[in-house]
Chains A and B, each alone.
Chain A
Amino acid sequence: MTAAPQINPLRKYVREDRMPHFFCPGCGCGQVLSSFLRGVDALGLDIDKMTAVAGVGCTARIPVYIKMDTLHGVHGRTLAWATGIKLHSPDTKVVVFAGDGDAVSIGGNHFIHAARRNLDVLMIVVNNFNFAMTGGQVAPMTPPGSVTMTTPYGSGEPPFDLCALAVAAGATYVARTATSRIPQMDLAIEKGLKHSGFGVVEVLSQCPTHFGRYALGSASPAKLLDWIEGICVSRERANSMTSEQIEGKLLTGEFVHKSRPIFKGSTFIQESPSDKESAFIEGCPDKKGECRP
C-alpha cells in the first residue's frame, strides 16, 4: 500500500477516525506514538500479531490511536494483563504503554515482579514528571522542589530512579531517553522491540499544560524541551563528571542489555508429546499403568 505523497506514511497504522488525537499541543505522548510506529515500520513487524496494553493516564491514550489489538482502562494493572496475554499466546508481541504514575505509583508492585520474572514484554514508560490527566498532581517522578497542583510550596519528596529500579529488579533491557532527542528515542524503542525479555524504555517527556505551567512557569513546549535537555546527561559523559555536577541530573542511554530465561508460567511444564497422547486422551486406553504424564 503506498500512501499519497502528502500524507505521513505512518498513518496507515493509525485509526484515522480517532484523529486528531486528544493530546495537548506539544505533548510528548504524540512523539512517543510516532516513534513507536517508526520502530514497528522499520522492523517490519506484523501489527496483527501485536497487542498494546495501557492503563489510565495521558500516556495510556497512546494505544487508542494504533490499529492493533488494544487493551485500555485499568489503572496500573497493565503488566498483570500483559502477563495473562503472554501466557495464553506466547507468540503475541506485547507492548505496554504507561505513564510514570501508572508504572511505578499505582502499578509499582507489578513492575518489579514483571522485571523479576523477566516477562517478555516491552514497557514504554513516558515520564512527564506528574499526574497529568487529573490536573498536574505530584507523582513519584516529580523532581524535588517542583511546584505542582498538590505541592504549592514545592515537592519535598525524593523521586524514583526508574531505570535503577528496573535494573535492580532484574529487567534485561533498560534505557532512558528523551523526546528532545528524537533519533535516540527511535533507536531505544527499536532495540526494545527487538529485545526478547522484559524491556523498559523510559522516555522523559514534556507536559506543557500541567508540569510546564506549575513547575516551570511556562506552557511553551520549546522551553520544556530545553529544561529536559538541561537535566539529561549521557552515561558516557557522566563518567568524566564529579558527583556534585551529576546531582539532580538524569542519566540517559542504555543501562543494561542482556539475556536471561523468559517467564513462561509459575511452574515447570513437562513437555513430552507422546505421554500426552497416551495418558490424556479418553482416560487411559492401554490400561498398563502408563497413565502418568
Chain B
Amino acid sequence: MAVYIDKNLCKGCALCVIRCPRKVFEISSEVNRKGFTVAAAVRDGDCVKCGLCEKTCPDLAIRVAG
C-alpha cells in the first residue's frame, strides 16, 4: 500500500480525485461516521508517490508512504 486515507477525516470532497495525475482515487460508496462518502485509493498500484494528494487534501486525511 502506498496511499493511506483516514476515513474519519475524509469528507469526500473529491479534490484528490481531480488532482491525482494517475487517477488513483475514486469516491467509494462507503459512508463514515460523519455521513460522508469517503474517497478510496482504488488503483493504488498506479501511484507514483508524487505526494500531490497529500498536499491537496484539505482534511489532512491522506498519507503517501515511502
Contacts and interface: CB of A to CB of B under 8 A. Distances in A.
Interface in B27-47: 34, 36
A23 B56 CA distance: 15
A11 B59 CA distance: 10
Given A182-B52, A182-B56, A5 B65 contact: yes
Interface string B52-65: 10111111111101
Nearest to A26: B13
Q: Which of A10, A25, A31, A222 has the most CB of B within 10 A?
A: A25
Contacts of A11: 60
B56 A6 contact: no
Given A26-B58, A31-B58, A20 B11 contact: yes
B60 A34 contact: yes
Contacts of B63: 5-9
Nearest to B61: A8
A3 B38 CA distance: 23
Nearest to B57: A34
Interface residues of A, number: 31
Contact of A20 (B9, B14, B52, B66): B9
Interface in A224-257: 225
A25 B12 contact: yes
B15 interface: yes
Given A25-B12, A221-B15, A222-B15, A30 B58 contact: yes
B50 to A, nearest CB: 11
Contacts of A104: none
Contacts of B52: 182
B18 interface: yes
B33 to A, nearest CB: 10
B55 A221 contact: no
Contacts of A30: 57-60
Given A6-B63, A26-B14, A222-B18, A19 B9 contact: yes
A38 interface: yes
A27 interface: yes
A88 interface: no
B54 to A, nearest CB: 7
Interface string A2-38: 0001111111001000011101111111110111001
Contacts of B56: 31, 182
Contacts of A7: 4, 6, 63
Interface of A: 5-11, 14, 19-21, 23-31, 33-35, 38, 182-183, 186, 208, 221-222, 225
19 contacts: A5-B63, A6-B63, A8-B6, A10-B60, A11-B60, A20-B11, A20-B34, A21-B59, A25-B12, A28-B58, A31-B56, A33-B60, A34-B60, A35-B55, A183-B55, A208-B13, A221-B13, A221-B14, A221-B15
Nearest 9 A/B pairs, CB to CB = A30-B58, A26-B13, A25-B11, A25-B13, A6-B4, A222-B18, A5-B65, A8-B63, A31-B58
